Amino acid sequence: MSWKRLGVLGTGVTFAVAMAVSAGGAAAFAAQTAPAAPAAPAALSVNHPTFIVHRIGTAANGTPLVTSASPTGLPPSAIKSVYGLSGLSPGSGAGDGQIIAIVDAYNDPHALADLNVFNKEYGYAKLVTCTSLSQPGPCFKVAKPSGKPATNSDWALEESLDIEWAHAEAPAAKIVLVEAKTASNAHLYAAVDYANTTLDANVVSMSWGGGESSSETSSDRNFTHPGTLYTASSGDSGHGVIYPSASPDVIAVGGTTLNGCSGTSCAGFTSETAWPGSGGGISAYENIPAYQAGYAGAVHGATTISSLTGGLRGVPDVSFVGDPNTGVSVYDSTLYAGQSGWWTIGGTSVGAPNWAGILAAGNAAGKTALQGDAAIYGGGYLTNLRDIISGSNGSCGTDCGAGTGYDLVTGLGSPVNYP
């Protein structure tokens, strides 16, 4: 028997699921601290979503209460107040003419309906299904390049988070949810390739990952389509590196805590610090990319990024709120742990789609400061990132601490006043 970590609830309760695998490969789930989850697909996932559910109370039967009939997490207006992001206003026009591809696994059966519940709650216009990606204005589309996937409650919640917050950041962009048939590398990378060649997407968001391997460098080519930017979550287990965030061709996003934010408000915001769950560290297989080698700014614990990492790729590049205790609001009607409705969600899954929306807004506005790693490391960090200088994601010394300049927990910082 093995354990699959799905998240750490806000009060410190780990939400875990025991997975028993028969000789035929069939998997059955039994919840340890919550009602039984729906049956999982037979094939074991190579990659996993990177969200964490915040616990808001305890149900009458003693199980964790994680949803509500109304929002309990941060709304777009609160995130806008912290980061000053121009797209986070209904009717802003941010992202006009852009295509954002959200690549996830399995099927979210109520994706558009749930997105429109989110839109109605926060004043965004109702989205309709795209008849063509060349039509004017925003719209929503679901693509299934490897065939129709089964529904999976973990991934359905991830997909709702991703499409709702990418849309919030760039409400005038077209959102295409590309659903891989399974969470295998083969299917997820095929979904990325579809976003590249069929959609010609401007930005691709990937809120998932798996362990590094010696063969990963052969997959880097999936993230090199001309004119496309890629964002990837750095993971939620503290110090350590996952792929594809380790790829030198993506913008890897770590996690932070918004001190002074609580519930649905950031009126008391005082500072942003590293979130202990933020993934980050030194890649085991990827060489340091030119943009990190050429970075001329401060580095926490070293004189250069190369000397910090021993000539290997450092992760992450940037950051965004990830702490579930200062998590964002998400609406999802697919049952997860027996519950549905409004969720408060954290994890580095929050950062990847938000950064995708920010980049789409930047593209549409003709801004360049944060449009890719080369721009960020080349000087964009000076004007449009907030340096995160305190907090840690482990007990490994410098490599686990945030500090002035680049660090292996929050990268070069979080976006501010962009585009």
Q: What is the pLDDT of residues 7-20, one digit of tens each?
A: 433 333 333 322 22
34 located within any domain:
no
**pLDDT tens-digit map of 332-354:** 999 999 999 999 999 999 999 99
Nearest 5°: the CA angle 393, 319, 232 is: 100
What is the pLDDT averaged over residues 5-32?
31
CATH number for 60: 3.40.50.200
What is the pLDDT averaged over residues 278-284?
98
Q: What is the mean pLDDT of the chain?
A: 90
Residue 29 backbone dihedrals phi, psi, to 5 degrees = -105, 140
Q: Pick the closest to residue 10 from 78, 64, 59 (CA basis).
A: 64
What is the pLDDT averaged over residues 179-206?
98
> Quick one: pLDDT at residue 4?
33
Q: Which domain holds residue 197?
A: 46-415
374 located within any domain:
yes
339 located within any domain:
yes
190 located within any domain:
yes
**pLDDT tens-digit map of 59-81:** 889 999 999 999 999 999 999 99
Instruction: Tally Cβ neighbours within 10 Å of residue 44.
Output: 15
> Quick one: pLDDT at residue 46?
79
400 located within any domain:
yes
Does residue 227 register a pLDDT over 60? yes
6 located within any domain:
no
More reliable by pLDDT, 214 or 33: 214
22 located within any domain:
no
Classify residue 93 as left (phi > 0), alpha (psi -120 to 50) or beta: left
Question: 90: cis peptide before it, omega within 30°?
Answer: no
Number of separate domains in the chain: 1
CB hemisphere CA count around 138 (13 angstroms): 29
131 located within any domain:
yes
Give the whole-angstrom CA distance, residue 209 versus residue 48: 6
**Among residues of the chain, what percentage have pLDDT more than 90?**
88
User: Residue 164: which pLDDT band, with cuts at 50, 70 and 90?
Assistant: very high
Give the whole-angstrom CA distance, residue 244 versus residue 234: 8
**Pairing of the two strands 229-233 and 203-206:** parallel
Does residue 266 register a pLDDT over 60? yes
> Quick one: pLDDT at residue 196?
98
